[in-house]
Structure 1
Amino acid sequence: MTMKPLAAGAAAAAALSLAASSAALAQTAAAAPQVSHGAAVPGVCVMSVEAAIGGSTVGQYVQSRLQQISTQVEAELKAEETAISNEAKAIETARSTLSQDAFDKRRADLQVRLNAYQRKGALREREMAVTQQKAISRIGQEMEPLIRQVYQQKQCSLLLNRDALLLANPAMDVTPQVVTALNGKITQFAFDRERLDQAASGAQTN
């Protein structure tokens, strides 16, 4: 009767665990042999959007907030799961004292509760995914003009996705500048879990 873990990183995990991923990559890079790069190519810049989000103050705040919301959801579902489990045990304990009809009725009622619990678990998982998507999208919106700004400041003629490259001269990497600009613009914003059941109810009444 348990549902899949709803931790920050369960759905679209790359967006939720950017900071942790960046740290892991940094450790891997530190252990890897040093590479001698050729001269930086004038006008060619590289950037990692994921590393910029994960390394920013607002990105780390979003990750922490998503984990907090996930913990609340898991606590809610755990309480219901425990109640259902306890009822199942109580039914089995009382089986010898119940008539067949009474036993079947309690089992049927329990199955209804279990089905509702499973539907709620699936709904909460979708809500967490949408919440995460919107939060990351908000960071992307805040960062987009900053990328253009850094692009112009660094006099880039071409900006490549660093995550799609095997290797690149760090001198061409403008990710740190974007992180600095993002930290200066926004460090956190309020958001809560999306309520898809309320959205569906609203759509039905309109």
Structure 2
Amino acid sequence: MISKPIVAGVCTAAIALTAGANAFAQAPAPAAVPPQAVTHGPPLTGVCIFSFENAIQTSTVGHAVDLRMQQIVAQVNAELTSEKTAIDNEAKALDARRATLDQATLESQASQLQIRANALQRKVQLRDREVQATEQKAVARISQELEPFVRQTYQSKACSILLQRSAVIIGNPAMDITPGVVAGLNGKITQLTFEREHLDQPGAPGAAAGAPPIVQTPGPARTAAPPTKK
């Protein structure tokens, strides 16, 4: 049947996007193992821990970006599914008429459908890159907003060294400055307004081009922070 290669090819491409680029959404956790109580030694003076991933995932703006990315992916999938359905239906209709068509007409119409299916696959790949670029830009913006609070908390906690949490197997939670950094970020911004990147626009050099700039929404007013230690 003519419809089989077209439908199968487009289905494969369309499904690929649903699994794409959402660093905010966590993968399903394996079966939970009852946690064992850990007794920590005293916090090490001057040694601090920070988790960039946890800071994003637990911050108000991180949750907002996660929801926005889900909306963008849903919009893209709706666009691609609509085109895929149209091609599938035309392929099935052509297959149903094949007995009434001469070979040249059948091959010509099948070829046109295949061209459209190939174009849709290219669009799927483009949209996947655009979704990834959009997420990367949003994460970079949150990282930029986090940086001053990391420095501020590092100084206020009199840290001498800051370790990435992913590099520490077990650590005393008292040395983790992530909650303080998140509190500072939440006090500054709670939303980022952005649209999907459009990498097919003329003059778009790469991931950072195409969409309007990300706009931040201020968080609630905060009391002045105490002066940092020098």
Common fold, TM-score beyond 0.5?
yes
| Number of the residue aligned with 1:134 | 137
Counting only pairs closer than 5 Å after superposition, residues 158-177 of structure 1 correspond to structure 2 as 158-177=161-180
Q: How many residues align?
A: 194
Shift of 1:129: 0.6
Partner of residue 10 from structure 1, selected from 7, 15, 20:
20
Shift of 1:5: 3.9
Q: Deviations over 1:66-124 (max 9, x none)?
A: 00000000000000111111011011100011111111111011011111101100000
Shift of 1:202: 2.1
AA aligned to 1:152 is: Q
Counting only pairs closer than 5 Å after superposition, residues 1-206 of structure 1 correspond to structure 2 as 1-2=10-11, 3=13, 4-7=15-18, 10-11=20-21, 13=22, 15-17=23-25, 20=26, 31-198=34-201, 201-202=202-203
Q: Is the 8 Å Cα contact of residues 17 and 124 (structure 2) preserved in structure 1?
A: no
AA aligned to 2:97 is: A
Distance 1:160 1:49 in 2: 11
Shift of 1:203: 5.6
AA aligned to 2:24 is: L
For the residue of structure 1 that corresponds to 2:138, the secondary structure is helix
AA aligned to 1:110 is: L
What is the root-mean-square deviation of aligned Cα atoms in Å? 2.0
Q: Deviations over 1:14-60 (max 9, x none)?
A: x322xx46x959x958x310100001001111011100110000001
TM-score by length of 2: 0.79
> Percent identity over the alignment?
51
Distance 2:17 2:90 in 1: 25
AA aligned to 1:84 is: I
Shift of 1:6: 3.1
Distance 2:59 2:32 in 1: 20
For the residue of structure 2 that corresponds to 1:16, the secondary structure is coil
AA aligned to 1:202 is: G
Distance 2:32 2:189 in 1: 30
For the residue of structure 2 that corresponds to 1:139, the secondary structure is helix
AA aligned to 1:100 is: Q
Q: Deviations over 1:122-153 (max 9, x none)?
A: 00000011001000000000001110000011
Unaligned runs of 5+ in 2: 1-9, 206-230
